[in-house]
Chain A
Amino acid sequence: MSSDLVISARGVGKTFRVASTQHRATTLAELVAQKLRKPFTRHQREREFTALDDVSFEVRRGEVLGIIGRNGAGKSTLLKILSQITPPTRGEIDLYGRVGSLLEVGTGFHPELTGRENIYLNGAILGMSRAEIGREFDDIVSFAETEQFLDVPVKRYSSGMYVRLAFSVAAHLRPDILIVDEVLAVGDLAFQRKCLGKMDEVAREDGRAVLLVSHNAAAVRALCGRALLLDRGQVVHDGEVNDVLRSYLDIEPSGAAVLTWTDKTAPQEGGFRYSSVSVLNSRGEPAAVLSHDEPFTIRLEYELDRPLPGLRVGFLMQTTEGVEVCGSNDVHVADPEERVPGRQVSECRFPAHVLNEGRYQLRFGADVPNGPVYILTPYCLEFSVEDHERHGE
């Protein structure tokens, strides 16, 4: 066995027994009554739910492994098993080194305690000795930028300060294996970048191993060399991060920016009915994540019950922070004569390098000026634009 191996997982699985709620005893009396009534039928009406199945992988010293997968794919269960919070039901994992896991920022922070007290308590909870915390104390405080408020109970902190302090303690944990879950999504943008930098530093220093679970594809791409894609409890792809992210987008139906309506639910008025809207990447596939250097298309599909002269179909775009970006409709291009009753499509094509990195939302409209149609949907479709190069900074 090679000596730079830090994690070796072999055939790990976890099955939960889920009793249907009507039959599950949640009080002692219910349990006793149940056992008295049917003493020999154990686990009746229980369903099994397999959260993880036959997961095997290895991590070596110095590696930063990203774990991705959509909600319910088993990421959190895997992290909890690796952090020894919950045991597997099958398989084995060997850990060569001290594990520090960060499944949440500020676990164990107590609002009544001061910043100083919380640093010591939280450090101890994360597995640092008192001496270690003492050594790192000044760094922790200055990283969190909360020097003046050290002796104030954290319940008086702003939420930003609270999160900064909590992350700072965690970031100064120095285990051989660091396990991180979604904690990057904290604080303001500047602090997020600082956190990313710190994670990167931790990973490079002394060849520690870092496991990072995130929905943030950009963060995974920036930090990880390798990634593991989980789907329905199984490892479906283990390899170079860009390859894995690509197959993630392929298996992720909700990750594709498409919204399809049935005849009943569709926004409709006066003989106009939306059927589907989508964002297409440069290959013409629906995609929720676009690269900033690819052209893309916003596609609107709708049906007309009758000719609607003067009909305009369009969209509005804003960032998820609510800053209006742009909007467009087809009034200048559509020839009213062409739009016969039936299914119609309008597309707006964007060249590459138009949008900055970020998340965007779309809402859709249709109208006939002074006519029978006026539709404006709420913001209902989201997509994001990523800029890989900028993460090298």
Chain B
Amino acid sequence: MAEPATPAVSVPMVRIRPPQPWEALDLSGLWRYRDLLLALAVRDIKLRYRQTVLGVLWVLLQPLLGAGIFAFVFGRVARLDSGGEPYVLFAYAGLVVWNLFSGVVLKASGSLLANASLVSKVFFPRLLLPFSGALSTLLDFAISLIVGVILLCVSGHTPGPALLLAPFWLFFLLLLATGIGLLSSALAVSYRDVVHVLPVGLQFLLYGSPVGYTIAVIPDGLPRMLYKLNPLAPLIEGFRVSVLGHGFVGLRSGSYACVVATLIFVTGLIVFRRMERQFADVI
């Protein structure tokens, strides 16, 4: 084997010592272990659709069926305003990002418990687990985007320049989702309550976010004020606006969402890194 011989160094490659407080924000491990990050994400994807008849088709069916239900409930029964868009298209745009958000949160938060044997038997940066969960969800998202594009074409939409902002909204949506995922995955190692609380919280958030309706239908006054506390709302609305080209997201609520998303991500990261050294002992 033409393995490069390790140079005779007198500087240790690794120094193992009691945890130091300032190591939290060092993300270089993620890059050094990128092969494993990818391998874990690929495993997730393969396992999700193995032994299913429809396979990856489920990625398309889930948001389509969901959009159909939303279109019926909100559009037909409740007769909410979609800003002139076909309700299915409108709801699909919302659901696609919502699925991305909840998928990342759920995948990331369960990642440590699902891989408990790895955590207690092998060394690698623990961050790989929530991040690989997030990564595998991104692929689903990419596939459902393709269907979105087809839907757009069929309905005769030509995206405007606002489309350029879509990646911006997605980025902060991912920060928010990953931050929540990191936080809850670390907490779930010691406190399994998180596993039970999270789905309930997500369900609450689904109806508290403009997935099946627009912010415009929220009455002014106190409800509107409370609604604006939800950092996810402008991110979802922002994505839909930039794709469909109708409506707008206020600068204030937009920047509020971005700041909160960043703060939650950083908090999640710090909490995760501070707790990660005990994972193997506790899990």
Q: Could you list which residues of chain A lie within 8 angstroms of chain B, going by C-beta atoms? A: 1, 3-4, 8, 16, 26-29, 31, 80-99, 101, 103-104, 107-108, 110, 112-113, 117, 120-121, 124-127, 129-130, 135, 174, 176, 206
Contact = CB atoms under 8 A, between A and B. Distances in A.
Contact of B123 (A16, A84, A121): A84
Interface string B198-236: 000000000000000000000000000000000000000
A95 B14 contact: yes
A386 B122 CA distance: 33
A130 to B, nearest CB: 5
Contacts of B280: 80, 85-86
Contacts of A83: 122-123
Interface string B240-283: 00000000000000000000000000000000000001101100
Across chains A and B, which 6 residue pairs bring their CB atoms closest together, nearest first?
A94-B12, A124-B39, A3-B8, A93-B16, A84-B123, A95-B14
B277 A108 contact: no
Interface stretch (B76-84, B113-121, B135-143, B172-180): B113-121
Interface in B25-49: 35-36, 39-40, 43, 46-47
Given A85-B123, A101-B123, A108-B122, A117 B46 contact: yes
B121 A27 contact: no
Interface in B77-119: 117-119
A206 B15 contact: no
11 contacts: A82-B16, A83-B122, A92-B17, A112-B47, A113-B46, A125-B118, A125-B124, A126-B122, A127-B36, A130-B39, A206-B5
Contact of B14 (A80, A84, A90): A84
A222 B229 CA distance: 67
B30 to A, nearest CB: 14
Contact of B35 (A26, A28, A84, A124): A124
Nearest to A101: B123
Interface of B: 1, 3, 5-6, 8-10, 12-19, 35-36, 39-40, 43, 46-47, 50-51, 117-124, 187, 190-194, 277-278, 280-281
Nearest to A153: B50
B16 A92 contact: yes
Nearest to A16: B281
Nearest to A172: B1
A3 B10 contact: yes
Contacts of A174: 1, 3
Contact of B47 (A103, A113, A129): A113
Contacts of A85: 119-123, 280
Contacts of A95: 12-16
B272 to A, nearest CB: 15
Contacts of B278: 86
B6 A98 contact: yes
B122 A99 contact: no
B35 A81 contact: no
A26 B191 contact: yes
A302 B124 CA distance: 57
Contacts of A90: 18
Given A112-B51, A124-B35, 9 more contacts: A27-B191, A85-B121, A86-B280, A86-B281, A97-B6, A104-B121, A107-B122, A121-B39, A130-B39
Contacts of A121: 39-40, 43
Given A85-B280, A121-B39, A174-B3, A107 B121 contact: yes
A125 B16 contact: no
A28 B13 contact: no
Contacts of B6: 96-98, 176
Given A16-B281, A126-B122, A88 B43 contact: no
Contact of A88 (B16, B36, B51, B187): B16
Contacts of B17: 87-88, 91-93
A16 B1 CA distance: 42
A92 B121 contact: no
Given A107-B118, A174-B3, A94 B193 contact: no
Contacts of B277: 86-87
Nearest to A103: B121
B185 to A, nearest CB: 15
